[in-house]
C-alpha cells in the first residue's frame, strides 16, 4: 500500500517521524514535503498529497500542520478526497469506518507524536463499513 505524506513547517517533525514509522511497518511512502522547518505555505503540500490520492497514486494520505484545519480544508477541495481532522484514536476509526476518509489530518500542536502514530495506524488499518454509510458517503 502506498501512502502520501505531507506537512507544513509546524508538522515537519511529526511528518518525518510518521514517514519512518510507516516505512518500518512495510508501507510504501511518497513524501510530498515540506523538507525542513522553514516557514512555508501549507496548501502547497496539502494539494500534493490530495493530488496523489485523487489520481490513485496513493491509497491514503497523511497531512500534518499546527491545527490540521488548513490542510484539511485544502485537501477536501479535491474530487474523491475525504480528509478528516483527527485528534484522538476513536475519531480516526470513525473517519474510516463511517466516512470512508482517505486522508487523515493531524494537529501537531495538539497531539503527541505517540497519539499521531496510533491514529495513523488505526486509520490505515480500519476498513470502511459500507452498508448504511455507503449511501451517505455517496451524497458528499
**Would you please indicate which residues are annotated as catalytic (active-site) residues?**
65, 98
Distance CA 62, CA 64 (A): 7
Distance CA 110, CA 108 (A): 6
Q: Where are the beta strands (DSSP E) in 24-82?
A: 28-31, 60-65
- Pairing state of beta strands 83-85 and 28-31? unpaired
Q: Report whether the peptide linkage leading into residue 61 is cis, meaning its omega lies within 30 degrees of zero.
A: no
CA nearest 123: which of 140, 106, 108? Answer: 106
Amino acid at each position: 500500500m502506498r501512502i502520501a505524506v505531507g506537512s507544513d513547517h509546524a508538522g515537519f517533525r511529526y511528518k518525518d517521524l510518521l514517514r519512518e514509522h510507516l516505512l518500518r511497518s512495510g508501507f510504501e511512502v511518497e513524501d510530498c514535503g515540506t523538507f525542513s522547518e522553514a516557514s512555508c505555505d501549507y496548501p502547497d503540500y496539502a494539494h500534493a498529497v490530495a493530488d496523489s490520492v485523487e489520481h490513485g497514486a496513493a491509497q491514503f494520505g497523511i497531512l500534518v500542520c499546527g491545527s490540521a484545519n488548513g490542510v484539511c480544508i485544502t485537501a477536501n477541495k479535491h474530487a474523491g478526497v475525504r480528509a478528516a481532522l483527527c485528534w484522538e484514536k476513536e475519531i480516526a476509526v470513525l473517519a474510516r469506518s463511517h466516512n470512508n476518509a482517505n486522508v487523515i489530518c493531524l494537529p501537531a500542536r495538539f497531539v503527541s507524536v505517540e497519539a499521531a502514530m496510533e491514529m495513523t495506524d488505526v486509520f490505515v488499518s480500519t476498513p470502511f463499513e459500507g452498508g448504511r454509510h455507503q449511501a451517505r458517503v455517496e451524497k458528499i
